Structure 1
Amino acid sequence: MANTDPISDMLTRIRNACEKRHQTTNIPLSRMNRSIAKVLEQEGFIDQFSEAGEGVQKHLVLSLKYSGKQKVPTIRSVQRVSKPGLRIYTNRRDLPKVLGGLGVAIISTSKGVMSDRDARKEGVGGEVLCYVY
């Protein structure tokens, strides 16, 4: 069965892996998934990511980040905003702040996928992909 929303699939895999306290999780490789993983790494939500596999079987391996002895995940919540059935766009003046700036909104802009902070610096708006905090 074809996956109609690969971004939601990625976010669900991350959410499930964090809930089960896994060290890594595998995500099918796409340019969008790679860009989102890059933003998550830059914002400090994951340790690192790498590509593995060959050909059609290529996937991203995300190394998840935890804090403390009880392994509290740094990603507490991941929420998909813009969906295939209802796209959510915002201009540069109305970019959302997640938890008053403690979280991150991942935005797909004409200059690439970036966090809401970077989009404000660049002065661009775009499609709000998800909230992470």
Structure 2
Amino acid sequence: MFTDPIADYLTRIRNASRAGHRVVEVPASNLKKEITKILFDQGYILSYKFEDDQAQGSIKIALKYDKMTKEPVIRKIQRISKPGLRKYSGSEELPRVLNGLGIAIVSTSHGVMTSKQAKKEKVGGEVLCYVY
């Protein structure tokens, strides 16, 4: 039993990319599906597939690598808000990751989105993770 399923999800992606795996499979949840869609839209993963063959289902994620250097596109993926210490930010205090080159994924009342989208919509929320 995992105490923090989001940290487990991020760790599986981090470990698979460092090991050079092409595909990683993680247990599915609605929040994980939203985070996966954001990673795909921002260009951090090649593709994803939601599979409902099990009771819970799973997500297969195809990781993306640089064609020339074979380095993973996701250099760092870091959990910010943890179950023991939640991190919330208002719409004006949302973080900029790597001076705008990375993304912060935020869970808001309007759904899960990047910090740039949350600033445009003028909503704050819980800062889930940084990706760059």
TM class by shorter chain equals over 0.9
TM-score (ref. length: structure 2):
0.96
CA distance in 2, matches of 1:127, 1:11: 16
Count how many residue pairs are aligned between Structure 1 and Structure 2.
132
Q: Which residue does 1:22 correspond to in 2?
A: 21
- Tell me whether 13-22 or 65-74 shows the greater mean CA deviation: 65-74
CA distance in 2, matches of 1:16, 1:55: 24
Letter in 2 for 1:70: T
Q: Which residue does 1:13 correspond to in 2?
A: 12
Q: Which residue does 1:45 correspond to in 2?
A: 44
Correspondences of 1:1-133 after superposition (within 5 Å)? 2-56=1-55, 58-133=57-132
CA distance in 2, matches of 1:85, 1:107: 17
- Tell me whether 54-63 or 102-111 shows the greater mean CA deviation: 54-63
SS at match of 1:66: coil
CA distance in 1, matches of 2:56, 2:108: 28
**Aligned-residue RMSD, C-alpha:** 1.0
- Tell me whether 121-130 or 68-77 shows the greater mean CA deviation: 68-77
Once the 2 structures are TM-superposed, how far is the Cα of residue 68 of structure 1 from its aligned partner?
A: 2.2
TM-score (ref. length: structure 1):
0.96
SS at match of 1:72: coil
- Tell me whether 101-110 or 68-77 shows the greater mean CA deviation: 68-77
CA distance in 2, matches of 1:16, 1:70: 18
SS at match of 2:20: coil
**Alignment deviations for residues 54-113 of structure 1 (CA, whole Å, 9 cap, x no partner):** 132510001111112331111000110000000000000000000000000000000000
CA distance in 1, matches of 2:130, 2:10: 10
Structure 1 runs (4+) deviating above 3 angstroms are: none
**Alignment deviations for residues 11-67 of structure 1 (CA, whole Å, 9 cap, x no partner):** 000000100111110010000100100110111101111112413251000111111
Letter in 1 for 2:94: L
